[in-house]
Structure 1
Amino acid sequence: MNTTELRSVLADPEHSGAYFIDARDTEAMAEAGSALDYAVLRVDLADCPDKAELMKRFAEAGGFPTWFGGNWDALADALGDLSWRPAEGYLLLVEHAYDWRAANGEDFDMLLDILNEAAFRRAEDGTAFWALLPFPAEQLAAFEG
C-alpha cells in the first residue's frame, strides 16, 4: 500500500480500531499518521514485565495527566479522553507487543478490548483512533493458520 492509500485508510474513523500489522510497515504507518496531523504515540513493550509497567509506558507515551490511576479503567478513561493531546486523529503504535502477548495472554486480550472500545467511542465523534500492533511477519502468519 502506498502512502496516499495509507492516508486514505487512516483518515476514515469508521474503520478505526486495534489491528495487527506487519512490523515492516511500522514507519510507513507512523509517517502516514503524521501527514494527517494525527498524534502519533509510540508505546514500546520491549522487555515489559507486567501490567504495571505496561500502564507506565502508556502513560509516558500519551503524556497522561496525574489523575491516571494505572489500571484498566483508568487506561480506558485516558484513551477515551485525550483532551490534553488535541489532534485531528490518533495513531498508537504498540510496538513489541508480541512478546508481551506471549507472557500476558489475558491482559493482552483486555488491552485489545480497551483499544477497540476507545476507537469505537472516538469514531462516534468522527475522530480516527488507530491502535496498530506491529508483529513480525512469521507471527502474523500464525494468526492466519
Structure 2
Amino acid sequence: MSPATDMLARPARAGVYLASAAQLQAAEHAAMAIGFDSWSLDVSNVQTAPSLLRHIGQALRFPAWYGENWDALADCLTDLSWSEAEGFVLAVRGSDALRTAQPELWQTLVDLLNEVSDFWRDNQIAFWVLVEGNTDTLPAFPQSA
C-alpha cells in the first residue's frame, strides 16, 4: 500500500489540506486504487459565485436536481447516495487565482468544504479536499498516517 493510499483510507484524518501537484496526482491515483470517487476541480478561471457553483456541479457530475446555490452544494456533497464509492477525494487546482481575485468567495467555499469533510468524518467516511496553491491558511496534507 502506498503512503497516499494508506493516508486516504483513514477517514479520521480526512479534511481540507494544502497539497503539492505531486501529492494531488498521487492522491488521485490512490483514490482510484481503493475505490474512492476522485474529482478534479480547476477554479483558476472562476470569478463569481454562480460560475463557481455551476463549475463544481459539472466537475463533480452532480445529479440534475442540483440547484447551483450554496445550500444545494452542501446538500449534494453531504448526500452522495448517487455514488457507490467508499470515500472521496476532491483535487482543487487554480486556487491562487480565485483566492486572490475573490477572497470572500474562496473562504466561503473552504468553509463549506470543511463542514462537508467534518460531516463525512463523523460518519466514518473519508472526504478529502486537497488544494494545490500557495495559501498558508490551510494545513499541509499529512505525510504519514
Q: TM-score range by the shorter chain?
A: 0.7 to 0.9
Corresponding residue of 1:72: 70
Instruction: Give 2:142's aligned residue.
Output: none
Q: Between the two proteins, what is the percent identity of the paired residues?
A: 32
For 2:13, which of 12, 15, 39 is the aligned residue?
15
The answer to whether the Cα contact below 8 Å between 1:18 and 1:132 also exists between their aligned partners in 2 is yes
* Deviation string, structure 1 residues 69-98 (Cα, Å, up to 9, x no partner): 111111111111111122010000111111
1:118: which partner in 2? Answer: 116
Query: For 1:45, which of 37, 40, 43 is the aligned residue?
Result: 43
What TM-score does the superposition give when structure 1 sets the normalisation length? 0.88
Pair 1:60–1:143, CA change in 2 (3 A): closer
Structure ranking higher in helix proportion: 1
Q: Normalising by the residue count of structure 2, what TM-score does the alignment of the two structures yield?
A: 0.88
Give the whole-Å Cα distance in 1 for the aligned partners of 2:34 and 2:112.
24
Q: Deviation above 3 Å: which 4+ runs of structure 1?
A: 140-144
5+ residue gaps, structure 1: none
- Contact 1:22/1:140 (8 A) holds in 2: no
Q: Secondary structure at the match of 2:2?
A: helix
Instruction: Report the count of equivalent residues.
Output: 139
Alignment of 1:57-68 (within 5 A): 57-68=55-66
Q: CA RMSD in A?
A: 1.9
1:102 deviation in Å?
A: 0.7
CA distance in 1, matches of 2:128, 2:137: 23
Q: What's the CA shift for 1:143?
A: 7.6
Matched, 1:105 2:109: no
Is this contact kept in 2: 1:48–1:100, CA < 8 A?
yes
* 26, 29, 52: which one aligns with 1:28: 26
Shift of 1:124: 1.5
The letter of the residue matching 1:58 is I
Q: 2: CA distance between counterparts of 1:80 and 1:62?
A: 13
2:36–2:86 contact (8 Å) kept in structure 1: yes
Q: Which residue of 1 aligns with 2:143?
A: none
